[in-house]
Amino acid sequence: MTDVTQVNEKISIETQGDIALIIIDNPPVNATGQVVRQGLQDAITKLNDEGTAKVIAIYAEGRTFVAGADITEFGKPPQPPALPDVYNVIEDSEIPVISVMHGTALGGGFELGLATHARIGIKGLRVGLPEILLGLLPGAGGTQRLPRLAGIPFTLDMALSGRQVKAEEALEKGVIDRLVDATPREAALQAAQDVLDGKLATRRTCDVDVEADDKALEDTAAMLKAKQAHLYSPHKIVEAVAASALPRTEGLKIERQAFVDSMQTPQRAGLIHAFFGERAVSGIPEAKGDTREIAKIGVIGGGTMGSGIATSCLLAGIPVRLVEVAQDGLDRGVATITKNLEGAVSRGKMSADQKDTALKMLEPSLGLDVLSDVDLVIEAVFEQMDVKKDIFGKLNTVCKPGAILASNTSYLDVNEIAACTDRPQDVLGLHFFSPAHVMRLLEIVQGAKTAPDVIATGFALAKKLKKVGVLAQVCDGFIGNRILAHYSKTASYLVLDGASPQQVDDALEGFGFAMGPHKVGDLAGLDIGWMTRKRKAATRDPNERYAGDVADKICENGWFGRKAGQGYYIYGQGAPVPNPEVAKIIDDVRAEKGITPRAFSDEEIVERYMTAMIVEATRVVEDGTAKRPVDVDMVFLFGYGFPRFRGGPLHYADTIGAKDLVARITEYAKEDANYWQVPPLLQKMADEGTTFADLNKGA
């Protein structure tokens, strides 16, 4: 006889003879919010008090088992019962408890499984401890129980990488006891019956001894000290895993304290802002609604960008027609795409068979006429308005009605491009970032006449390509490059005034950027900025202090950076070294301009650079180029290597506060009142005591 008890709105118990099922139903991802925690604790306690069930099986409804603690509760006052206490109640249950995990059992979800007495995985399951990606560490027994099941090195690997481990690997490591192909409910009933029949063994994880591995702990601690000294939670993970040698209560106490301490850090706040921000950018009304079908894409241009875009589409399973004007260019494009896909195979992103299938979906063609049957064209040719206008004029006649015409321009006026067609409603900007098959940002640029379903299709495409689509309005450089153009001048001013390019790079790498601006310039090619400076020379503000003197002189020598073997740095064997010729150029320019160099501390370098970034980012929000501060933040996290743990420039701005920022800008303006101006929005925020977070909430 089946008997159902609703413990609370998220947890129910179903008993069938000796078997009790505890069912979690908390969509969308069964996170362990307060109601779930309370319900689980009450259900286990009730079943133990009653004493009638002989085995308990926990499973979850919906698309996944528990995906972790409820992140929306973080940063708010904790509400009992605490997750580790609930899991202790489960582990201590007199009646054996088994768990059946499907989908993604992550963080607190995986830890729930670890606290049960046996674990069943459903085919396709992935388990993980992604807390580190949120600036945290497993805080509900993960660092204590996983070492008992799978050893210290594997625990360190999972907890420090946050990677999702496939069920097969989890089975091999002894993390799960069985892997089955069934629904969670069927698997729960079957496994429970097997426990009753003595076919499935159960045991308390805390009763298993941890195999000591001091070397793994010491080596990892040393590696983290060398490579991740600026991060908080990785070091705490090692400490907590080391404590797994202690009895359960003591080990859990150390883990809990480390978890609570991590929760207080700005890194945790920054990373959680990044987690929700990544989702918020596509949560806007423009991203929803009707979309057009994209079954085939045409990519114009077989250069690095076009090939990267084509690769990205092929990786997502979308057939691509790659178009070039001449055979050699087309051959180069196909070769680049093949190399990109081979790279994906060697990185384990796809199998060799999948690569071959993807390549079969590529149709290299000459001339635009072949684009008559595609649903979307992405133009990725030179950044020259004339060339683009010519192409869009031709696409207007070639493409079928309703086809979407996109330009991958990084700064040109999408409205001017659209005006070359008699279908501006079908035209938008799709700005990819290089390498386009790797970088996750996609700026979706809305022209004045772009139709709503074209924008929504842009967002749908971003999702299909596993990219983060961010809506931007038309302006020179859109969100990212416009802000970049402003703050990169600060890097040049710092060098003119006394810092060395290497000091600027080191200071910003210390702040968390993967590479300083001069190394990035060398990597991208210094000729790109040189071309832009020349293009803008005629329209340059005569009152603006010119920032390009040093870079221009470097380029005049043909030292375009990494591809030329030298730029700000010299590239050869081993790590790049500062270019002594550049130091001479800097000295000459300073002498020419009568600048007496002064010393800058790393702190001042970071302050000036970040303040300049925040200033232009504020203006971008102020004039509506970006919809909200969070959109700017995500552009920088996913397109510009901004340190994720700092959440993005405007999240970071909130950690300083509008008032202090205004004070800083006012101080800098004493030297250069043209460059350093307080944006009215920032002034208003300082006056009213508000934050960018308030603006995100629509306050």
Q: Which residues bind ligand 3HC (CB under 6 A)?
A: 28-29, 31, 64, 67-72, 83, 104, 106-108, 111, 130-131, 134, 136, 138-140, 142, 279, 283
- Output the smallest distance, CB 175 to ligand 3HC, in A: 16
**Which is closer to ligand 3HC, CB of 126 or CB of 482?**
126
For ligand 3HC, the closer of residues 64 and 566 by Cβ is 64
Least distance (Å) from ligand 3HC to the CB of residue 340? Answer: 25
Least Å distance, CB 452 to ligand 3HC, is: 21
Nearest to 378 by CA among 405, 416, 403: 405
**At a CB cut-off of 8 Å and minimum separation 6, what does 449 contact?**
415, 418, 424, 425, 427
Nearest to 129 by CA among 152, 146, 149: 146
Q: What is the CA radius of gyration of the chain?
A: 28
Distance between alpha carbon 586 and the CA centroid of its chain, in Å?
Answer: 37
* Secondary structure tally for the chain: helices H, strands E: 29, 20
Q: Which sign does the torsion angle of CA 122, 123, 124, 125 carry? A: positive
The distance of closest approach from Cβ of residue 552 to ligand 3HC in the complex, given in angstroms and rounded to an integer, is: 46
**Phi/psi class of residue 96: alpha, beta or left (left: φ > 0; alpha: ψ in -120 to 50)?**
beta
In Å, how far are 82, 283, 390, 417 from 448, measured between CA atoms?
52, 21, 20, 11
Strands 164-166 and 126-128: antiparallel
List of residues 6+ apart from 72 with CB closer than 8 A: 33
Q: Which is nearer to ligand 3HC, 91 or 111 (CB)?
A: 111
Question: What strands, in cross-sheet order, belong to the sheet with 97-101?
Answer: 2-6, 11-16, 19-24, 55-60, 97-101, 118-122, 178-180
Residue 468 Cβ, how far from ligand 3HC at the closest point, in Å? Answer: 12
- Give, to the nearest 10 degrees, the angle between helix 517-524 and helix 526-536: 90
**Closer to ligand 3HC at the Cβ: 156 or 404?**
156
Closer by beta carbon to ligand 3HC, 107 or else 567: 107
Report, in Å, the least distance between residue 278 CB and ligand 3HC: 8
Give the whole-angstrom CA distance, residue 71 versus residue 60.
Answer: 18
587 within 8 A of 637, measured Cβ to Cβ = no
What the block records as the tokens of 627 is 């919809």
Residue with tokens 């040189």: 530
Residue 553 phi/psi, 5-degree rounding, is: -70, -35
CB nearer ligand 3HC, residue 78 or residue 680:
78
Q: Which residue, 109 or 301, has its beta carbon nearer to ligand 3HC?
A: 109
Smallest gap from Cβ 238 to ligand 3HC, in A, equals 16
Complex with ligand 3HC: residue 141 or 516, whichever CB lies closer:
141
Would you call 11 helix, strand, or coil by DSSP?
A: strand
Of 253 and 563, the one with the shorter C-beta distance to ligand 3HC is 253
Sequence-ordered list of residues with C-beta below 8 angstroms from that of 227, at least 6 positions apart, any chain = none
| 108 vs 576, beta carbon nearer ligand 3HC | 108
Indicate the residue among 68 and 647 with the shorter CB distance to ligand 3HC: 68
| Smallest distance, ligand 3HC to C-beta of residue 107, A | 3
Q: Tell me the closest approach of the beta carbon of residue 304 to ligand 3HC, in angstroms.
A: 30
Shortest distance, position 288 Cβ to ligand 3HC, whole Å: 12
Query: Residue written as tokens 């990819």?
Result: 432
> Cβ of residue 86: shortest distance to ligand 3HC, in angstroms?
11
Helix, strand, coil shares, percent, the chain, to 5:
55, 15, 35
Task: Find the shortest distance in angstroms from Cβ 233 to ligand 3HC.
Answer: 11
Residue 528 CB, shortest distance to ligand 3HC, in Å, is 35
Contact predicate 668/676, CB 8 Å: yes
20 - beta bridge partners?
15, 56
In the complex with ligand 3HC, the residue whose CB is nearer, 137 or 496, is 137
Residues contacting 307, CB < 8 A, separation 6+: 322, 333, 336, 337, 340
Q: Of 262 and 500, which CB lies nearer to ligand 3HC in the complex structure? A: 262
Contacts of 175 (CB under 8 A, 6+ apart): 114, 119, 127, 146, 149, 150, 165
